[in-house]
């Protein structure tokens, strides 16, 4: 274990260091689902409720002004974190799912016409698929999918062919939440823009990886959730290029986004407030800011380098265990690795590992299409973060070896071998 890691586990993530479940030490390896909040995030949220809690953009009294300033500070932090040209391009949401639904609804209302085309990919989380399906069915547009290769990469040749049909938008993840595939976003964005398509990036799994800034990446929209970067749940953002946000009508309306009204004529606030109807999740936004500061202080390069080394180690170690089949073999993996242990059910494997203290996800991880494409009905997913260690991966590998040996002894033909 690195010195910095021993320190942060003890000081900032007591849950990682000390959690026990049914008498076993918990090894938390489900970070693609959610990461543990760091202590500074928890303190910041507590401090918000203890000292600052008041509604924003409305009151002229001190607490409201402070709450407004704190929220706008976080907006500035997010803008710097993602490399946006201005904080006005950052809209607070409840998370990636809401951001994408918001965008898809706005596209359906303001951009898409019958006969238009939208592209998504077979690799997408349902949160980056179903909102587009619904937007297309509402507007009469068509949704087509960029295929995934057997290795678990996007088929860029096929993307090129689909782009010839001049889609209005390409929705694509930066990193797959199942395979960990890191998509070549710059190349993809260049291809899409050359064909006149806007690019909307689902960056839910990519923000610890140190994605290039949105300006240099050239994407038009980007969404992510605070809880994937050691922040709170219920807080996230939608980034949109200024020209786009100014053009799109707000899909949600209500208080806080009206600048003037001469009934029934309504003028909205400028961006980003025109997209933030209602009272925002202020404590969540405060915690979001603390999460960004925490990640920045640790350094995204260091985090990314270390997490890549962990996933590489896991891939090497698990692929050496006869009976384990790892899904895909993308050139670059980050954050997640999924596998099956046929003929055992993924659910049963995760349950048996859970009895030994391992917190892993089983199922389709909200990526039904991708599982179908990879020819499996479900998988077990291991998703480490920077507070995990090689030793924890080693403990998991040893537990899997024990599980396989027990299954063989019981006559289950794991690894194609009976009574091995
Ligand atoms: N997209 C991807 C790639 C994800 O991994 C997730 C979370 N599992 C989401 C979208 C949805 O994020 P949230 O649940 O925070 O809205």
Q: Is the CB of 207 under 6 A from ligand 1?
A: no
Q: Which two tokens stand for residue 99?
A: 């951001």
Under 8 Å between Cβ of 312 and 363: no
Question: In ligand 1, which atom is closest to the CA atom of 127?
Answer: 10
The pLDDT value given to residue 418: 57
Under 8 Å between Cβ of 54 and 61: yes
Under 8 Å between Cβ of 190 and 172: no
The pLDDT value given to residue 201: 98
CA of 233 to the centre of ligand 1 (A): 11
- Of 202, 195, 278, 199, give the one whose Cα is nearest residue 236: 202
Q: Is the CB of 94 under 6 A from ligand 1?
A: no
Query: Which domains, ranges and CATH numbers included, belong to the chain?
Result: 4-37+299-409 (3.90.1150.10), 41-296 (3.40.640.10)
The reported pTM is: 0.97
Q: Is the CB of 97 under 6 A from ligand 1?
A: yes
The pLDDT value given to residue 57: 80
Q: Which two tokens stand for residue 284?
A: 């969540």
* DSSP for 61-130, written as a single string: SHHHHHHHHHHHHHHHHHHHHHT-S-GGGEEEESSHHHHHHHHHHHHHHHT--TT-EEEEETT--GGGTH
Which one of 132, 177, 361 would you pick to mutate in the ligand 1 pocket, going by the greatest count of ligand atoms within 8 A of its CB? 177
Catalytic residues, which ones?
A: 366
Q: Is the CB of 181 under 6 A from ligand 1?
A: no
Q: Is the CB of 36 under 6 A from ligand 1?
A: no
The pLDDT value given to residue 5: 83
Q: Can you state the angle between helices 300-319 and 282-298, rounded to 10 degrees?
A: 80
Task: For residue 175, count CB atoms less than 10 angstroms from its CB and return exposed for 0-12, middle for 13-18, buried for 19 or more.
Answer: buried
In tens digits, the chain (420 residues) has pLDDT values of 778 888 888 899 988 888 888 888 899 999 999 999 999 999 999 999 999 899 998 778 888 898 999 999 999 999 999 999 999 999 999 999 999 999 999 999 999 999 999 999 999 999 999 999 999 999 999 999 999 999 999 999 999 999 999 999 999 999 999 999 999 999 999 999 999 999 999 999 999 988 888 888 889 999 999 999 999 999 999 999 999 999 999 999 999 999 999 999 999 999 999 999 999 999 999 999 999 999 999 999 999 999 999 999 999 999 999 999 999 999 999 999 999 999 999 999 999 999 999 999 999 999 999 999 999 999 999 999 999 999 999 999 999 999 999 999 999 999 876 554
Q: Is the CB of 338 under 6 A from ligand 1?
A: no
Which one of 31, 33, 35, 97 would you pick to mutate in the ligand 1 pocket, going by the greatest count of ligand atoms within 8 A of its CB? 97
Question: In ligand 1, which atom is closest to the CA atom of 95?
Answer: 16
Q: Which two tokens stand for residue 160?
A: 């090129």
Beta strands in 295-378 (DSSP E): 325-326, 337-340, 358-359, 361-363
CA of 77 to the centre of ligand 1 (A): 21
Q: Helices (DSSP H) in 332-374: which residue ranges?
A: 346-355, 368-373
Q: Give the integer Cα–Cα distance in Å for 54 and 71.
A: 11
| Non-local CB neighbours of 177 within 8 Å, separated by 6+ positions | 32, 125, 204, 205, 335, 336, 365, 366, 367
| Non-local CB neighbours of 362 within 8 Å, separated by 6+ positions | 346, 347, 349, 350, 351, 378, 379, 380, 381
Mapping DSSP onto H, E and C, the string for 267-290 reads EECCCCHHHCCCCCCHHHHHHHHH
The pLDDT value given to residue 2: 78
Between β-strands 142-146 and 198-202, what pairing exists: parallel, antiparallel or unpaired?
A: unpaired
Which one of 96, 209, 363 would you pick to mutate in the ligand 1 pocket, going by the greatest count of ligand atoms within 8 A of its CB? 96
């Amino acid at each position: 274990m690195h010195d910095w890691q021993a320190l942060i586990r003890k000081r900032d993530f007591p849950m990682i260091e000390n959690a026990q479940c049914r008498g076993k030490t918990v090894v938390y390896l489900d970070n693609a689902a959610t990461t543990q909040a760091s202590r500074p995030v928890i303190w910041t949220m507590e401090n918000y409720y203890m000292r600052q809690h008041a509604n924003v953009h409305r009151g002229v009294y001190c607490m409201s002004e402070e709450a407004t300033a704190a929220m706008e500070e976080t907006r500035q932090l997010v803008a710097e974190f993602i490399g946006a040209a201005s904080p006005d391009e950052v809209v607070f949401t409840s998370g990636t799912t809401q951001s994408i639904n918001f965008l898809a609804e706005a596209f359906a209302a303001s951009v898409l016409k019958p006969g238009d085309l939208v592209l998504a990919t077979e690799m997408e989380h349902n949160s980056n698929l179903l909102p587009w399906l619904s937007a297309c069915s509402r507007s009469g547009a068509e949704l087509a999918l960029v295929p995934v290769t057997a290795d678990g990469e996007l088929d860029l040749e096929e993307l090129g062919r689909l782009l010839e049909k001049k889609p209005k938008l390409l929705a694509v993840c930066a990193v797959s939440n199942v395979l960990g595939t890191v998509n070549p976003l710059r190349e993809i964005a260049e291809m899409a823009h050359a064909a006149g398509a806007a690019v909307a990036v689902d960056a839910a799994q990519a923000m610890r990886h140190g994605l290039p800034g949105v300006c240099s990446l050239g994407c038009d929209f980007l969404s992510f959730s605070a809880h994937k970067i050691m922040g709170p749940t219920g807080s996230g953002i939608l980034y949109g290029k200024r020209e786009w946000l100014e053009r799109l009508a707000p899909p949600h309306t209500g208080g806080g986004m009206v600048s003037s009204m001469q009934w029934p004529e309504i003028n909205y606030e400028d961006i980003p407030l025109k997209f933030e109807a209602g009272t925002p999740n202020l404590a969540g936004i405060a915690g979001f800011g603390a999460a960004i500061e925490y990640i920045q202080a640790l350094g995204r390069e260091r985090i990314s380098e270390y997490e890549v080394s962990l996933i590489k180690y896991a891939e090497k170690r698990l692929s050496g265990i006869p009976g384990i089949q790892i899904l895909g073999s993308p050139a670059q993996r980050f954050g997640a690795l999924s596998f099956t242990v046929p003929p055992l059910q993924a659910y049963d494997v995760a349950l048996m590992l859970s009895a030994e203290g391992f917190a892993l996800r089983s199922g389709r991880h909200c990526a039904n299409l991708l599982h179908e494409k990879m020819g499996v009905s479900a998988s077990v997913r291991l998703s480490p973060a920077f507070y995990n260690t090689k030793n924890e991966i080693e403990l998991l590998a040893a537990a899997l070896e024990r599980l396989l040996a027990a299954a063989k002894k019981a006559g289950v033909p794991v690894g194609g071998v009976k009574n091995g």
